[in-house]
Amino acid sequence: MVRVLVVGAGATGAFFGARLLQAGNEVAFLVRPRRREVLRERGLRIVSAEHTEVLHPELLVAGELSDAYDAILLSVKADALPAAIEDFAPAVGPGVGIIPFLNGMAHLDVLNDRFGTGSVLGGVVKVVTFVDENGDIRQLAPLADMVIGEQTGEQTPRLAALADGFGSAAFPFATSGRIVTEMWHKWVFIASAGAVTTLMHGNIGEIAAVPGGADFATAVLSEAAAVSAAAGHPMTGREFGTTRELLTAHDSAFAPSFYRDLSRGLPTEVEHVFADVVLRGEKLGVDTPLLKLATINLRVHQNRVSAA
């Protein structure tokens, strides 16, 4: 059993925190006051096509933290990161593992600067969930897995202890000796999927079904993969091929959260996911015209949302 603090009870944090709690770990959620009211009233609900699960976890708000935890799972939007850091800082003690599940890579630099690389692990999760109008977590597909690792690639006693607690949860779990590379490759995927769907205004299958759609998706992926390679994290031919298959599948109804947010008139993480990969590409000498186009598109959307 490990003591876990989950920062943020949104679509990702709530799902994995609930599964860790069900596995017998001591789990608390650090949330905003309004979110705590909703969760106290309804419970933390995980809703899938098969059933609805209702949990009643420990709920904390800023200022109520006093003890240190074994692990801090950080699952907030990038623009909420500075405030979240101040909120959970009292829970950071010796030997803690801060494990972020944010999109992109900029957050890793921020956390390393604040807490030191020795306190921050890398993490990658895959799950298809969203928060509905009632505040419940809706799971759209059975896919859900987690990979964590030390930034150095070492198999440390801390990582082994966390694996003991996390490995018993009801989702595929693994540790990795190349977690930073895996984080980069996830960034390649989400930036590519987000750019393709938001520019073409359709899901992956709809885009792949029209002439030129698959070629366009492959071109976007090639740009993102080139930035990753220039940064020291190249994709193997097999990894690139697998990702390309996901982005060009004719029967796929997949659309990332960026597309859903765009369609619903909600803010997107344009600066942290798209603009940052373009900026890193410029610094590394990699041209990314299609990703630049996606960035401009989403910045226009962001300005419209902010003005409203």
Q: In this predicted structure, what is the pLDDT of residue 275?
A: 98
Q: In this predicted structure, what is the pLDDT of residue 66?
A: 83
Whose CA is closest to 176, among 195, 151, 204? 151
Q: In this predicted structure, what is the pLDDT of residue 140?
A: 86
Q: In this predicted structure, what is the pLDDT of residue 298?
A: 97
Q: In this predicted structure, what is the pLDDT of residue 68?
A: 87
- What's the whole-model pTM score? 0.93
What is the sign of the dihedral through the CA atoms of 300, 270, 131 and 204? positive
Low-confidence ranges of the chain (pLDDT < 50): none
Q: In this predicted structure, what is the pLDDT of residue 244?
A: 98
Tens of pLDDT along 165-182?
999 999 999 999 999 999
Q: In this predicted structure, what is the pLDDT of residue 67?
A: 85
Report d(CA 223, CA 188) in Å as an integer.
Answer: 9
